[in-house]
Structure 1
Amino acid sequence: MDLLSRRIVALLLLSLLTACSQQIVRQTCVPLTGEAQYSLSPTSTVLTDAHQEINLTQMVNFTRGQDSHELLTQLELNPQRMTLVGLAPLGQALFTLVYDGQTLQSQQSLLLGEQFKAEYLMAIMQIIYWPTEQVNRHLSGGELMIKPCNMGLCKQLLDANGELMRLTYSNIDPWLAQVNVDIDAADIHIKITPIE
């Protein structure tokens, strides 16, 4: 195949790949209920001198009612940005989220449909991993609290009507823990397992 033919084939393949995804500017504040809302927080508030970058691969099991889905995620944090990439179990790219502290860019597969709101997943990741006091600074109409339990760590997110979200961690260090998130009002259960 000559050089011109190869270029044409490469351009066709590239156009097919880009036709399967869409670029979306997402909201950085997401409503959790009618009253509670969480606004994404910059990554610089989470990183320490010992951990200037965090890379975490996870298996995420998401259940809503009778529907269950599984995906792999790669979470990357550095002082400038938070990146969350989602892959189907067979490795197909589903979405990429990039939050730079001001804007949230999302590129997602058309297979996810317009109902998939990627900003919710990033907000839940911050609620899980960010320190409680940091989450509360960016939470309006609700409060995240640590509660006693027989696990490594337990938290609950409350609003004026009661519990919105329950978080249980298998380890006191959230970055090392298997995390379960229950949102009873929406019949949602999320299990996040780190992969080493």
Structure 2
Amino acid sequence: MNKLITLFVCILLSGCASNSQTLTSAWLKRDVKVRLPAVTLSHDINKQQLLTAKVGNKTGSLITLLEVKDGRVVLMGLSTMGIRLFEATYDGQTIQVEKYITLLDLPPANQVLADIMLSYWPVKAWQHLLPNDWQLLDKGNKRLLIDDNQQIISEITYKQSSGEREPITIKNNYFNYFISIQDMEE
């Protein structure tokens, strides 16, 4: 079970190799970076979610606490047993990461924040930050991130819940991972 948790955290965390990060960008592809948008939403977000990731034939789960409020994003990761693993805070300028348990070979925390922000932030907040000829499109219950070669890089699926659109899956075709998101408050 610990190997599965470690694998999942490796997929989702970004920048946890040190306690403090000053990054504000994330990788869309190996040689394509994007700056994260400002923390300006018309509403606050406060979520407790179970994330299950699949990479190849391996699956792992992680509990996340997400709060978007007062111009900042706070993402806390817990093991499924409730052990605090990390906390990442983004204020629109810098990403600060505190890790509580050392795990090796973790991707940066800004990648996790990018997936979250791609899911929740409006398309218009992203469009001017994307590279030339890249698109972020909403089509029904899906959001597609399309590169300059018209390849779908990320596909986010939503459901309607209490009149709001909630992300339930994130599929990254380029980095080859799939994340399902279950709201623990339902």
Q: 2:107 aligns to what SS in structure 1?
A: coil
Q: TM-score, normalised by structure 2?
A: 0.80
- The answer as to 2:92 corresponding to 1:101 is yes
What's the counterpart of residue 168 of structure 2?
179
The match for 1:129 is: 120
Structure 1 pair 176/23, CA: closer, same or farther in 2 (3 Å)? Answer: same
Structure 2 unaligned regions, length at least 5: 1-16
- Aligned residue in 1 for 2:36: 40
2:159 matched residue in structure 1: 170
Q: Tell whether 2:72 aligns with 1:81.
A: yes
Decide whether aligned partners of structure 1 residues 111 and 34 sit closer, same or farther in structure 2, where only a CA change above 3 A counts: closer
Conservation of the 8 A alpha-carbon contact between 1:146 and 1:154? yes
What residue identity is the alignment partner of 1:187? N
TM-score, scaled relative to structure 1: 0.76
Higher relative contact order (CA 8 A, sep 6+): 2
SS of 2:125's equivalent? helix
Aligned residue for 2:160, secondary structure, equals coil
Q: For structure 1, which segment, 82-91 or 61-70, has the greater mean C-alpha deviation from structure 2 after superposition? A: 61-70
Query: Runs of 4 or more off by more than 3 Å in structure 1?
Result: 172-176
Mapped to 1, the partners of 2:77 and 2:182 lie a distance apart of 14
- Deviations 1:99-124 (CA, angstroms, capped at 9, x unpaired): 11111001124432243321101110
After superposition, what is the alpha-carbon deviation per residue over 1:144-163, rounded to whole angstroms, capped at 9, x for unaligned?
Answer: 11124xxxx11110002311
Question: In 1, are the aligned partners of 2:168 and 2:180 still within 8 Å (CA)?
Answer: yes
Identity of aligned residues (%): 26
Distance 1:54 1:70 in 2: 21
Q: Kindly indicate which of the two structures has a greater share of residues assigned to helix.
A: 1
1:128-171 CA deviation, whole Å, 9 max, x = no partner? 000111122232242211124xxxx1111000231101111122
**Residues 86 and 101 of structure 2 are in contact (CA less than 8 Å); yes or no, is this contact kept in structure 1?**
no
Matched residue count: 167
Q: Which position in structure 2 is the counterpart of 1:157?
A: 145
Whether the 8 Å CA contact 2:25–2:33 is kept in 1: the answer is yes
Please name the residue that 2:55 is paired with. 64
The root-mean-square deviation of aligned C-alpha atoms, in Å, is: 2.3
